[in-house]
Amino acid sequence: MSEVRLQNISKSFGGHTVLPDLNLTVPDGSFTVLVGPSGCGKSTLLRIISGLEEPTSGAVMIGGHDVTLDEPSKRGISMVFQSYALYPHMTVAQNIDFGLRLAKMPAAERKSRVAEAARILALEPYLDRKPAQLSGGQRQRVAIGRSIVRQPKVFLFDEPLSNLDAALRTQMRVELAQLHQSLDATMIYVTHDQVEAMTLADQIVVMNAGRIEQVGAPMELYDRPQTVFVAGFIGSPK
């Protein structure tokens, strides 16, 4: 059970309020996509869910537990960024294994988890390569592999494909949908790519200036936008 529930979340930086009062339920096992203009607070929201940022007020609930004061590592969450910071001197296998090694997990368990992640992400032929010997898409898969091995209940993605070219983005989109099916995890995914949002999401959350404009299934937003902003945002080409 890994429903994510945000209750009356607010966030200010100095005197500047980025999120005034946000309520959102992300259903267990859903693929929820957050969209909205640059600067509207999407990354801040992900950072609050992951625990990298503390909300000014409000509560973050995961699986019915209040985790607002919990360390990021205690939340069962993993975050994948657009700039996949791999260790250049380590092999793919070592990169994927790194977090498990830090956590002092027994070697046999680590080995089987790395093998499983490599299988799911089709990285088996590349395990002994260094990041510099990989394509952009392969590197992004390694970054996702580092998340998978930790077996999080919730994955957070912050525009993970925005550095990839169009063809690779299309391929990775298919792979992310398969990943969601095979892992049975809750995914919260930020993108400004409408096609990505429409094809990946069970539920799309449209944000504007720190507020939620509308939440709904892709076709629902497309057919019945409740505000002019949603109509413009969902309907307009990228």
Residues facing residue 61 across a β-bridge: 5, 66
Stretch that binds ligand ADP, among 37-45, 166-174, 181-189, 223-231 (CB under 6 A): 37-45
Task: Tell the smallest beta-carbon distance from residue 197 to ligand ADP (Å).
Answer: 14
Residue 44 or 138: which CB sits closer to Mg ion? 44
Residues facing residue 24 across a β-bridge: 6
Q: Which helix (H) or strand (E) holds 10?
A: strand 4-13
- Report d(CA 188, CA 155) in Å as an integer: 6
Estimate to the nearest angstrom the gap between the alpha carbon of 101 and the chain centroid: 23
* 83 contributes a contact to ligand ADP by CB under 6 A: no
The entry of ligand ADP, Mg ion, none near residue 38 (CB within 5 to 8 angstroms by kind) is ligand ADP
The entry of Mg ion, ligand ADP, none near residue 194 (CB within 5 to 8 angstroms by kind) is none
The DSSP code for 149 is T
The entry of Mg ion, ligand ADP, none near residue 188 (CB within 5 to 8 angstroms by kind) is none
Task: Tell the smallest beta-carbon distance from residue 176 to Mg ion (Å).
Answer: 18
Residues facing residue 13 across a β-bridge: 16
Tokens of 24: 């959102």
3-state SS class at 115: helix
* 191 contributes a contact to Mg ion by CB under 5 A: no
Query: What's the chain's length in residues?
Result: 238
Instruction: Give yes or no for a contact between 65 and 115, defined as CB atoms under 8 angstroms apart.
Output: no
Tokens of 218: 């892709």
* 236 contributes a contact to ligand ADP by CB under 6 A: no
Instruction: Give yes or no for a contact between 159 and 191, defined as CB atoms under 8 angstroms apart.
Output: yes
* 18 contributes a contact to ligand ADP by CB under 6 A: yes
* Antiparallel, parallel or unpaired: β 4-13 and 57-62: antiparallel
Stretch that binds ligand ADP, among 35-43, 82-90, 129-137, 216-224 (CB under 6 A): 35-43
Residue 48 or 117: which CB sits closer to Mg ion? 48
Tokens of 12: 């200010």
Stretch that binds Mg ion, among 37-45, 85-93, 124-132, 169-177 (CB under 5 A): 37-45
Residue 63 or 72: which CB sits closer to ligand ADP? 72
Q: Report the first-to-last Cα separation within the chain, whole angstroms.
A: 35
* 43 contributes a contact to Mg ion by CB under 5 A: yes
* 41 contributes a contact to ligand ADP by CB under 6 A: yes
The binder of ligand ADP chosen from 2, 30, 32, 43 (CB under 6 A): 43
Binding site for ligand ADP (CB under 6 A): 13, 18, 36, 38-44
